[in-house]
Structure 1
């Protein structure tokens, strides 16, 4: 029987003016060949609100600093189970959408585990991601991005670099 460590997380769908989403290519240190693409974000600190954690993680991982209120409400939530570095997690996570004209990613804020387990980053068009054959999380990401691209963005603040 697998024992799961519970974890809360907040993630950001950072989308540029071309409709591309920023993803990081990572791997599990315990399984270096298990590569996958994922959104900026990560685990919440104890008592940390999801928008606060999402803004903190976005700043650490991309250099983009936002007031948590700029993220608005989550656009999607899910729960996932996964193994990372030999530990099984059951993670409940909220996804926030933030649009930028463009952004030059700055990864100097990565922590030690991020420096050891993130190999690259790139901006993906949803259709290109779906057709890539690459592993990405969440698996619903291209469909979610397409749906969000068709929804209104009224009230959404934008940043540019």
Structure 2
């Protein structure tokens, strides 16, 4: 059983003493075909840290991936969608995140939602998200490589291109990325 991610203390801990947590999660690539919605995330224990990520989070007990994706989108963006609006999963991986206070190994699946651009409502953010998230933006697909802060997943441009390929829609195999590390403090 995974330990809840939302019990973070955000107190910097010596790398060798960081607790290791595991969880199952889901991420959603939200695009209007020209831009992708990303959140600027931070590690409060490492001032000045910042990276961009897609909406998503951990599965609640008994929740399916699609149900979690729908819930996370509503909580993090204010957008209500149906589970069958999502394409995927299009990618799976185990993301190992080394933060200043912990290590989180998240087995996650990525889904894609193509929708009209909308105004993001962050009223549903958790206390941790309110502390760590430093904004959001609709980033032009052509501008992803120009971002100065890291984008997690690093393969986001390739993932979007794979999901947008009309010759593969409905017959797209899940891209298995294996284990990857995305860390502010290396594992």
TM-score when normalising by structure 1: 0.86
Q: Which residue of 2 aligns with 1:159?
A: none
Q: Secondary structure at the match of 2:129?
A: helix
Q: Which residue of 2 aligns with 1:32?
A: 47
Specify whether residues 115 and 106 from structure 1 end up closer, same or farther in structure 2 by C-alpha distance, changes over 3 A only.
same
RMSD of aligned residue pairs (Cα, Å)? 2.0
Please report how far the alpha carbon of residue 154 of structure 1 lies from its aligned counterpart in structure 2 after TM superposition.
Answer: 6.5
Unaligned runs of 5+ in 1: 156-161
Q: How many residues get paired? A: 154
Q: Which residue of 2 aligns with 1:44?
A: 59
Specify whether residues 116 and 153 from structure 1 end up closer, same or farther in structure 2 by C-alpha distance, changes over 3 A only.
farther
Residue 9 in 1 paired to residue 64 in 2? no
TM-score when normalising by structure 2: 0.75
Unaligned runs of 5+ in 2: 1-15, 171-187
| Structure 1 residues 69-128: Cα deviation after superposition (integer angstroms, max 9, x where no partner) | 322431111111013461111111111111112211111111111111111100112331
Residue 23 in 1 paired to residue 27 in 2? no
Q: Residue 19 of structure 2 contacts residue 101 of structure 2 at CA under 8 Å; is this kept in 1? A: no
Q: Which residue of 2 aligns with 1:68?
A: 83
Q: Residue 29 of structure 1 contacts residue 84 of structure 1 at CA under 8 Å; is this kept in 2? A: no
Greater C-alpha Rg = 2
Q: Residue 94 of structure 2 contacts residue 106 of structure 2 at CA under 8 Å; is this kept in 1? A: yes
Specify whether residues 108 and 153 from structure 1 end up closer, same or farther in structure 2 by C-alpha distance, changes over 3 A only.
farther
